[in-house]
Amino acid sequence: MKTIICLQHVAHEGPGFIAEWATSRELGLKIWRMDEQGRAPEVTENYPLIVVLGGPMNVADDAAHPWLREEKRFLFRQLNRRARMLGICLGAQLLANLLGADVGPHPEREIGWFPVTWTDEGKAHPFFAGRGAGITPLHWHGQSFGIPQSAMRIAASEACTNQGFVWKERVVGLQFHLEAGVEDVRRMAEHGAEDLAAIGRWVQGRDALLTAAHEGPNKAALFQLLDVFFLPFKDA
C-alpha cells in the first residue's frame, strides 16, 4: 500500500478531509510535523506522493524556523525524483518558489469563505472538471505566489489573481483550503485572533468563519482532485 507523506507545520493546521479521503481509499497517510521534528524527512528516501500543508510562517522565514531550509531541500530533491505534490497555502507558496516563482506579501489579507472562479484551463482540467464555474473555499493568507514557468493558472478570486496552479501534471498548488471543515477552522480561528482583528475588505469575522455551509462542495472538489492526482499511483 502506498503511503502519502504529509508535511504539517503547526498543530492547528492539519490534513482535515485529506485524512478522511486517504482512509476511504485505503491509502496510508504519514504526518510529519516539521515544527516538532525540527527537520525534514531523510532526503535519501523516495516519497512519490507528498502533501505540503499550510502554516502561519512565510517562505522566507528561515531565520525564525530553521527547519524551513531543510524542508525546501527535501522538496527540491523530491521534485527532481518526479514526486507528485499537492501544496496548500504555505505549501503552495513553497512549491511555487522552488519552481522559480516569486512569493511575497499580498496587497490585502484574504481570510474567510470567498468565491474562487476557475480559469478556462482549470474548468477543462480533469483535476477540477465538472465543478462548475467555481467554489467557495476557505482563505487564510497574507502572502501570495506567482505562477511558475511552464505552469497553468487554474483559479482566481476577486482579492487574489493567483489562487492555484498545475505544473507538468506533477505539482498542484492551491492558495486556498479545500481540506478545512468547520472544526479545522475553529482551531485556526483560536490561534489566529490577531489576524482576524485586522481590518480589511477581505477579512471575515469569527462568526462568519464558523460555518459549514461550504463543506460539501469543497470536500467533493478535494476528493475529485485527490482521486485523479494520487489514486492512479496507489499500487504503482
As a whole number of angstroms, the distance between CA 199 and CA 143 comes to: 16
Of 170, 190, 197, residue with least CA distance to 80: 170
As a whole number of angstroms, the distance between CA 32 and CA 195 comes to: 26
Give the residue extent of every domain in the chain. Answer: 3-233
Phi, psi (deg, nearest 5) at residue 216: -60, -60
Q: Cα separations (Å) of 169 from 22, 99, 150?
A: 20, 14, 11
Q: Give, in words, the CATH class of 3-233.
A: alpha beta
CA 83, 167, 113, 213 dihedral sign is negative
pTM of the model: 0.97
Tell me the mean pLDDT per 10 residues along the chain, length 236. 92 97 96 96 88 97 96 96 97 98 96 96 95 94 97 98 97 98 93 86 91 90 97 79
Contact 42, 35 (CB under 8 A): no
Give per-residue pLDDT as tens, 99-158: 999 999 999 999 999 999 999 999 999 999 999 899 999 999 999 999 999 999 999 999
Helix (H, G, I), strand (E, B) or coil at 229: helix
Contact 5, 49 (CB under 8 A): yes
Give per-residue pLDDT as tens, 184-193: 999 999 998 8
Instruction: List the grid coordinates of 102.
Output: 516569486
